[in-house]
Amino acid sequence: MNTSNLNLLATPFISTQKIEEQLNAFKTGFPFLKISKAAEIGDGILKINEKNIFLSAWETYLSKNNTVIKFVPASGAASRMFKDLFEFLDADYNEPEKEFEKYFFTLIRSFAFYNDLNAVCMNLNGKSLEKLLEEKKFKTIITNLLNQGGLNYGHLPKGLLKFHRYPTENRTPVEEHLVEGALYTKRGKQVTIHFTVSTEHKDLFANHIDNVLEKYSKAFDAQYNISFSEQKKSTDTIAADSNNEPFIDNGKPVFRPGGHGALIENLNDLDADIVFIKNIDNVVPDRLKETTITYKKLIAGILVSLQEQSFKYLEELDNENINDVSLKEIIDFCEKKLFNKNQRTNTFSKQELISYLKGKLNRPIRVCGMVKNEGEPGGGPYLIVNKDGSISPQILESSQIDMNHERSVTIMKTATHFNPVDLVCGIKDYKGNKFDLTLYVDKNTGFISSKSKNGKELKALELPGLWNGAMSDWNTIFVEVPVLTFNPVKTVNDLLREEHQ
C-alpha cells in the first residue's frame, strides 16, 4: 500500500508507520518460538520447601518503605460467560434440552444473584422466580437475567456480577479483590489496587466501589487507594480482509482493541516497586482464601529475595575489578536461581561477560505461579531458546507453538503445568529507577485471529499477550502453586463449582 493511501488510514492515536507494520504482520505472520523443553519441577519450575523463609521475606519487605500495587485486568463485558444462555434464548425450543441448560435451572437457587433475579422477576412480571419456574417460563427468566431492563448480566463486566454467597451478603469479584488486597498487599494501612476497565463500564466500577469501600475499610482497618485505567486507543490494531488489505466498513477502516497484551502500557504507567497481577474472575469465597493468600505471599517473598540478590550482584558488576570467583558465582545464580542458561559464557572475554550478566540481571523480574495440568485450557511454562543462544523460562500460548512440528507438539502434550495468570512483578531497577516495560516486549509474538463484523469475516491482530510476549525479555521464575489457587469463571455454570459455593 502506498504512502498516500496509508495517510488516509491514519488516526490521531496510531501513526502510519505503525499501521504499515501491522498490515505487514498480516502478510508475513509471526514466527514460532524455538522450544528447548517444557519446564518441570527441578528444571524450570521451583517447588517451595522452605515456606517460612519466603513468608518472612515478604513480611519484612512490607514493613519497609516500598510501594505495592495489585493490578487487576477487568476489561470487557461478560457476554462470553453467558454464551450458552444466549443460545438458549435463540433456540427453537422453550424448555431446557442441553445439559448446560438443565444444570443451570436445576441449581439456579445456588447462584449468588438468585435473590436479585427474583426481585427483577417480581418487578417485571409480577411473579416470583419460583412461580416462573413452575410455569416453565424459562426464557423469561433468562431474559430477565441477561438483558437491559433486567439484571443486564449479559452486558456487564464480570467484576460487577454477584459471584459468592455469604450469610449476610453476596460479593462481586471486585469485592473479593478488595478483601484479597488487604490480606497480602497491605503496608501499614495502605492497600493499593488498580483495575483496567473499559470506557463504558468505568462509572459502574467507580460507583460500585464507592458503595462498598467503607465496609471493607472498617473490616480490615485499611485505607484503600483505588485507581482505574482504560486500554489505550494507541494500542488498537487495524483489521484486515482476506487479501491482507485494510478491512473497510461503511467507508472507514476498522480498528480493534489489541487484546490483553495492550495492557503492558497500563502496567508501565504504574509507579510501584512490586505489582501483583491476577485476573478479575479468579477469586474464591473466604473459606478457601487461606491457601491463595499464603501462596501469594510466598511467590512475593521469592521475588523480593531474588531481586535483592540480583541488585547486590549488579552493584558488584559495576566494579570493573570484579574477580573471576565473583563472576562464577553470578553465573551460577543466573543458571540455578533464574533458570537462565547460556553455554557460550565460557567463550566470552571478561568485559563481554560483565556486559552479558548486567543485561540478564538488570531487567524486570516476575515470579509466576504454575499449577499442575489437569486439562484446563491456557498457556504453559516452557524453556525457550532466545536469539542470543541463551535458554530461559517463558510462558507460551498454543498459538506460539508450531503444530506442524512433531517435536514441539510432543513437548506441548507432555507439559506438566499450565499458566493460571498468577504473577508478582518487580518493575524497578537496582538504582530505584522504573523500567520502561515497552522495551522488553517481543513484537514477534503476536498472533492473528478470525473475527467477523456485520456478517463479514475479518482478520484481527492480537498484540503480544500481557504475560507471554509482552513480558518476553523479563527474568521469569516459575513456582508450583496448588490448583486450589486457580478458580476461573469462564461460564456462568462455573459458579456452581464447589470452589465458588
Q: What is the dihedral of CA 391, 392, 397, 399, to 10 degrees?
A: -30
Q: Which residue has the cell 455454570?
A: 493
Query: Once rounded to an integer, what is the mean pLDDT over residues 70-94?
Result: 90
Query: Once rounded to an integer, what is the mean pLDDT over residues 400-420?
Result: 82
Alpha-carbon span 314 to 330, nearest angstrom: 9
Higher pLDDT, 256 or 297: 297
Query: Once rounded to an integer, what is the mean pLDDT over residues 282-301?
Result: 95
Alpha-carbon span 309 to 256, nearest angstrom: 42
Nearest Cα neighbor of 180 from 294, 31, 325 is 294
Q: Would you tell me how many other CB atoms lie within 10 Å of the CB of residue 18? A: 17
Domain ranges in the chain are: 19-78+161-500, 79-155
Alpha helices, H only, 185-250? 202-220
Nearest Cα neighbor of 213 from 199, 230, 227 is 227
19-78+161-500 is classed CATH 3.90.550.10: yes
- Using 50, 70 and 90 to split pLDDT, how confident is the model at 6? low
Over residues 156-214, the pLDDT tens digits come to 999 999 999 999 999 999 999 999 999 999 999 999 999 999 989 999 999 999 999 99
What pTM did the predictor assign?
0.92
- pLDDT > 90: what percent of the chain? 67
